[in-house]
Homo-oligomer: A and B are copies of this chain.
Amino acid sequence: MTTITTFDRSAGIAVWRQIMETLKAEIVSGAFEKDRRLPPESELAARFGVNRHTVRRAIAALTSEGILRADQGRGTFVASAPLSYPIGPRTRFSEIVSGQDRSPSGRLIGSEIEEADALLAHQLDVPLGTPLLRVATLRVADSVPMIVGTSWFEQARVPNFVADYAESGSITAALKKAGIDDYRRKETRITAELVEARDARQLGLALGQPVLVVESLNLDMAGRPIQYTRARLAADRMQLVVDGGGV
């Protein structure tokens, strides 16, 4: 591998950060899995063709994210491996996480009434300006934040949602209390973006990190949209797994 990469100094991204990303991609794809040890800083500096200070700054940033661990005198080691997230019609975060020997938790981090903008009006099939309930959740595995999710519902259809959700901790249960007994997923759209400032704080990511964005729309049994969700996944800590699908 040991490719010598040159860095773009006018791309709006500091060189130390470009090095940080390169290292992170290699870590996630398992390049240092043998002994989980990184090459010494001097070697990395030579490989990237930069000053050793610059490499140190990249390593410091990865350390503060918990991805690397630097031991005095011994070297720098990979600290964490990514979580697999199978994507399907009936997946539950809690089951996925437990199945991989980690302990899940989740909590409500905010809810608010807002008016439907063009995008939400279109997705939920309501007139512009319709009052919507926005619910934000944070899901955590082994006390490491994994997913920030924002869901929108037509407010009139789920009048007591927040209390019901807080009580049960389950969206399904809260919808049931609102008379929506069953629902199904229409489709899911996946893309990648750079993390926004607020999500970066919630997920404990540095700015400029990529997130997987998963947008999904749930319909009730009559085919009417009830819930539009936009989830942001810390890409360095998760992989989506689709059975059979491919590009």
A: which residues have CB within 8 A of B? Answer: 1, 5-8, 11-14, 16-18, 20-22, 24-25, 28-31, 33-34, 61, 82, 84-85, 87-89, 91, 93, 117-119, 122, 147, 149, 184-194, 196-198, 200, 206-216, 218, 229-231, 233, 235, 238-247
**A8 vs B205: C-alpha distance in the bound complex, in angstroms?**
12
Q: How far is the CB of A168 from chain B (nearest CB, A)?
A: 19
Q: Is the CB of B18 within 8 A of A208?
A: yes
Q: How far is the CB of A116 from chain B (nearest CB, A)?
A: 11
Complex copy number for this chain? 2
Q: Is the CB of B190 within 8 A of A190?
A: yes
Q: Is the CB of A239 within 8 A of B191?
A: yes
Q: How far is the CB of A78 from chain B (nearest CB, A)?
A: 13
Q: How far is the CB of A160 from chain B (nearest CB, A)?
A: 24
User: Of the candidates B84, B194, B245, which one forms a contact with A210 in the assembled complex, judged by CB atoms under 8 Å apart?
Assistant: B194
**Of A5, A214, A230, which is in contact with the most chain B CB atoms at under 10 Å from its CB?**
A214
Q: Is the CB of A13 within 8 A of B5?
A: no
**A231 vs B192: C-alpha distance in the bound complex, in angstroms?**
14
Q: Is the CB of B239 within 8 A of A31?
A: no
Q: How far is the CB of A169 from chain B (nearest CB, A)?
A: 17
Q: Which residue of B lies closest to A93 (CB)?
A: B247
Q: Is the CB of B214 within 8 A of A247?
A: yes
